[in-house]
Amino acid sequence: MFRILFYTPEIPGNTGNAIRLAAVTGAQLHLVEPLGFDFEDSKLRRAGLDYHDLAVVTVHKDLESAWAALAPTRVFAFTSEGETMYTDVAYEPGDVLLFGPESVGLPTVVKQDAHVTATVRLPMLEARRSLNLANSASIALYEAWRQHGFAGTGTGTR
Known binding-site positions for S-adenosyl-L-methionine: 100, 122, 130
95: amino acid identity, one letter: D
Half-sphere exposure at residue 91, Cβ-oriented, CA atoms within 13 angstroms: 27
d(CA 7, CA 9): 6
d(CA 151, CA 71): 23
| Residues that constitute the known binding site | 100, 122, 130
Residues facing 96 on adjacent strands:
3, 75
Nearest partner of 59 among 121, 7, 137, judged by Cα: 7
